[in-house]
Structure 1
């Protein structure tokens, strides 16, 4: 009899898969670390050289395009008005530069697809060349508008 009572007691205390209203277990919530947003590093603005326009021109100051193709500037001579911008774009697979002769304008090395822009504010004839391939030459003639 004692054995039977023990068996019934064990069965009665065992979990039968159904929960009674007071039997719910409350999960312990672990503290959540607040998400800290890292501040973006401060950027130092790149100030343009007088006449240099960083990035791509907007619609208000359309650039006159010169292509660098087949190791030459095309067209090699252009005439623009004061206040206009010239954009040189390298179409060749090798790198080129645009360096003004006796002036302050000049591009870094331009890979294929790279561009450089310069705003011409003073009238005159501006000769330029590629510092990597010095036989490549061109001229920008700027006339007073």
Structure 2
């Protein structure tokens, strides 16, 4: 089993602290989050779009997190250890938020500031109970 560093655990700890803050409405809303599915679309080579949808949230960050988790699991399935975020578009339709998030998956750490280690990210997603592909 891999040892997790403090930097790896920081997003998990931050999310846990965020759940404790606020006036209670956010906590009630977070308990009702519904993950409605992931559609994976291969765009070109190693560039992939993840179309995700959620209910029970008004926060685009939740959509970005859901897509990040999908990208990380997809990278592992394809034998790649890393992914780089290209862009995410979020739209609201009724009480549903939808996201279209594009990622570049690769075996080596790609250039850029929005990169993830797929294995570590999938572990974080599991701890946060965010579904993956």
* TM exceeding 0.5: no
Q: Which has the higher contact order (CA 8 A, sep 6+)?
A: 2
**Which of the two has higher C-alpha Rg?**
1
Shorter-chain TM range is under 0.3
- TM-score in terms of structure 1 length: 0.23
More strand by share: 2
